[in-house]
Amino acid sequence: MTVLHPETRVGHVHLKVADLDRAIGFYSGILGFDVTQRYGTQAAFLSAGGYHHHIGLNTWESKGGKPPPPGHTGLYHTAFLFPDRKSLAQVLKRIVEANYPLDGASDHGVSEAIYLSDPDGNGVELYRDRPEADWPRNPDGTLSMTTGQLDLHKLLSEA
């Protein structure tokens, strides 16, 4: 069996979008990613912390397009890991202030997650991991992930 090096990470995601400015408005204007480069009206690259890009957005094959209907294959969601609870609370505050709808929020024991869809219907998960020492475990040591309710009001109070 081939095993990946344990430091392997997903470096970036490229999304086909229908309207570049609308997508930038969501990923930059609401979530807070910085636009690092733009190719006219067809593509843009965004990042956190000055990296060349975490998100690529383009309309090369999708300008004016529609999301795939339910029941079809495609991207379920992208997941953006925040370094701590306060950072997650701050992005939640921006979402609430923008009056942008949430699809859900869960406490998974190992992490706390907020779910929403971007303007093109792509699922987005915003989450923070708890310290590994605090992860719930079964008696045999395996993880015991759960799906409980995340208290968004309490999270917002930490913004």
What confidence score (pLDDT) does residue 1 get?
A: 75
In terms of domains, do 60 and 100 share one?
no
In terms of domains, do 83 and 146 share one?
yes
The sign of the torsion formed by the CA atoms of 82, 124, 21, 155 equals negative
In terms of domains, do 144 and 100 share one?
yes
In-domain check, residue 87: yes
In terms of domains, do 80 and 153 share one?
yes
In-domain check, residue 23: yes
In terms of domains, do 53 and 87 share one?
no
- In this prediction, the residues of the chain whose per-residue pLDDT falls under 50 are none
Q: Using CA atoms, how far apart are residues 113 and 3, in angstroms rounded to an integer? A: 28
Please give the model's pTM, rounded to 2 decimal places: 0.91
In-domain check, residue 126: yes
What confidence score (pLDDT) does residue 68 get?
A: 87
Give the domain extent around 45: 11-64
What confidence score (pLDDT) does residue 119 get?
A: 96
What confidence score (pLDDT) does residue 147 get?
A: 94
Q: Is 106 exposed, middle or buried (0-12, 13-18, 19+ CB in 10 A)?
A: middle
| Both tokens assigned to 150 | 């995340």
In terms of domains, do 56 and 98 share one?
no
Task: Identify the DSSP state of 92.
Answer: H
In-domain check, residue 90: yes
What confidence score (pLDDT) does residue 42 get?
A: 96
Instruction: Say how many domains are in the chain.
Output: 2
